[in-house]
Structure formats: C-alpha cells, structure tokens
Amino acid sequence: MGIANQLTNILRDVGEDAQRGRIYLPLEDLDRFNYTETDLLKGVIDDRWRELMRFEIQRARQYYKDAERGIRLLSKDSRWPVWAALMLYQGILNVIEANDYDVFSQRAFVRTPKKMLYIPLAWLRSHVL
C-alpha cells in the first residue's frame, strides 16, 4: 500500500513539482506516451498526458488492490484505519480523473464530507471482509 500511496502523492503533486523543476514520474513512462519532460514542465494537457495519467492511475489502483489482501490479515481493530487511508487515497485518484487529469492548475483532494463518509465505510469494510 505504501507504493500505491506514494504514487498517488506523485500524481497529485505533478503540477507543484513541475513548478519547482522536478519530475518524479518515470521518464520511461513519459517516453512510452511520447510526452516529454518539457511538456510536463510546461503543464501540457493533451491526449498523450491523459493516456499517461490513465496508465499511472491504473498502476496505483493495482497496487491498492494487491494491498487489500494484506489488510485482511490484520486484526479487525487494526484494519479500519488502514481501510480508511486506502479509501481516501483512492478518492484522490478519482478526483484527478474528475478534473480531467489537470493536476497543473487544480490540486486534487477529497472534500471533508466525502472523508466523513469514508470513516464508517472503512469500519464496516474492516469488520465484514
């Protein structure tokens, strides 16, 4: 789950990092979608960018899916905060998608009402699964 969370943070912060001249996405992934470092630093949002982001989000979601098996091995009392974190971070990915992958001019975050919904859902998930 740590890799999934870190990848989510990287995707969320691409724009802020680009403003500082930093790129944390794998360059081989940029190459795969013919998206250049210059494009990223300029904040170019086009079909190449969207495909790259879809690829990275799918990668993160697979890591979260893999993590779910491990969460089930934790004690019931330990599961719910981990489920809550997983749901919150997956929510950030959903916001990135809802923002049409614009992480350059919009910061992706989960709003408080949605966060408050995740808490009981995480508790329920931790005790049912």
pLDDT digits (tens, 9 = 90+) for 19-64: 999 999 999 999 999 999 999 999 999 999 999 999 999 999 999 9
Mean pLDDT (whole number) for 79-93: 93
Q: Taking the chain, what is the end-to-end CA distance rounded to the nearest angstrom?
A: 17
Question: Do 116 and 36 touch, CB atoms closer than 8 A?
Answer: no
Residue 129: predicted pLDDT: 59
> What predicted TM-score, i.e. pTM, was given to this entire model?
0.90
Average pLDDT over residues 62-74: 93
Q: What is the mean predicted confidence (pLDDT) over 57-74? A: 94
Please tell me which residue, 15 or 69, carries the higher pLDDT value: 15
Q: How far is CA 27 from the centre of its chain?
A: 18
Could you tell me if 96 and 12 are in contact, meaning their C-beta atoms sit under 8 angstroms apart?
Answer: yes
Whole-angstrom distance, CA of residue 16 vs CA of residue 76:
37
Domain coordinates of the chain in residue numbers? Answer: 2-128
- Quote the pLDDT of residue 128: 78
Residue 9: band (very low, low, confident or very high) from pLDDT cuts 50, 70, 90: very high
Sign of CA dihedral 121, 126, 128, 129: positive
CATH superfamily label, 2-128: Farnesyl Diphosphate Synthase (1.10.600.10)
Closest CA relative to residue 82, chosen from 119, 112, 116:
119
